[in-house]
Amino acid sequence: MNVTSDQGEMIRFLDEQTLEVNLPNKLGYERIAMDCTASFARIVGFVPERISDLKTAVAEACLNAMEHGNRGRSDARVIVSMNFDGQTFSVSVMDEGEGIVELPEDPDIEKKIERLEPPRGLGIFLIRRLMDHVEFNKLSDQGNMLRMVLKMSRSH
């Protein structure tokens, strides 16, 4: 739930299932968000394999928020909000940017090796492949948000 305060900024209410990490925009600190999400997912009972998937997806989303969303600005923040409702583990990664202009195509390794395509461009592909559901360019009070979901049912 979001409400707008008198000053026009948004105040986010955090509920009893929601945990938030607020990070400086510093390459390498995505590990902290990753370890924090993994810790939460472990407590609520996900199996190690799915936790590994989650860790990679969270790290990639944070890297994108830092590099593309916040354009490397050292005074910007990345906010990672996570929630488990008993069925669905969802992680939202927020940055202060405008969102993704165009969703990239899946990487083509042959083209990359032949140098017909840049070696980068793997993050969003991995996030989509590893998570059960992904939403891009959601509007949040912080700016742009990527939301990803892991379902408990899929053998934890």
Partner 1 sequence: MQQNEIRIEQRDSVTVLEIQGDITVFSEPFLNEAYTCASNQGAVKILLQFDGNAYINSGGIALLIQLLAKARTRDQEVAITGLSAHFKKIFHMVGITKFAKIYDTLQEALQKMS
Ligand X SMILES: Nc1ncnc2c1ncn2[C@@H]1O[C@H](COP(=O)(O)OP(=O)(O)O)[C@@H](O)[C@H]1O
Applying CB under 8 A, which residues contact partner 1? 27-28, 30-31, 34, 43, 49, 52-53, 56, 59-60, 63, 107, 109-110, 112-115, 119-120, 122-123, 125-126, 129
- Does 130 bind ligand X (CB under 6 A)? Our answer is no
Both tokens assigned to 10 = 């948004």
Residue 110 to residues 47, 100, 123, 129, 135, Cα–Cα distance (Å): 33, 25, 17, 19, 28
Residue 115 binds which of ligand X, its own copies, partner 1, none (CB < 5-8 A, kind-dependent):
partner 1
Rounded Cα–Cα distance for residues 104 and 26 (Å): 24
Between 25 and 140, name the residue whose CB sits nearer to partner 1.
25
DSSP assignments along 6-29, one per residue = TTS-EEEPP-TTEEEEEEES-TTT
Residue 81 half-sphere exposure, CB side, CA atoms within 13 Å? 17
Q: Which of 76, 124, 130, 148 binds ligand X (CB under 6 A)?
A: 124
Residues that bind its own copies (CB under 8 A): 5-7, 14-26, 28-29, 31-32, 34-36, 38-40, 43, 74-75, 77
Rounded Cα–Cα distance for residues 154 and 156 (Å): 5
User: Least separation, in Å, of the C-beta of 56 and its own copies?
Assistant: 16
Q: Which of 123, 131, 148, 152 binds ligand X (CB under 6 A)?
A: 123
Rounded Cα–Cα distance for residues 134 and 91 (Å): 10
**Pair 131, 124: CB distance under 8 Å:** no
User: Least separation, in Å, of the C-beta of 60 and partner 1?
Assistant: 6
Between 27 and 47, name the residue whose CB sits nearer to its own copies.
27
Site residues, ligand X (CB under 6 A):
64-65, 68-69, 95, 97, 99-100, 104, 120-125, 144
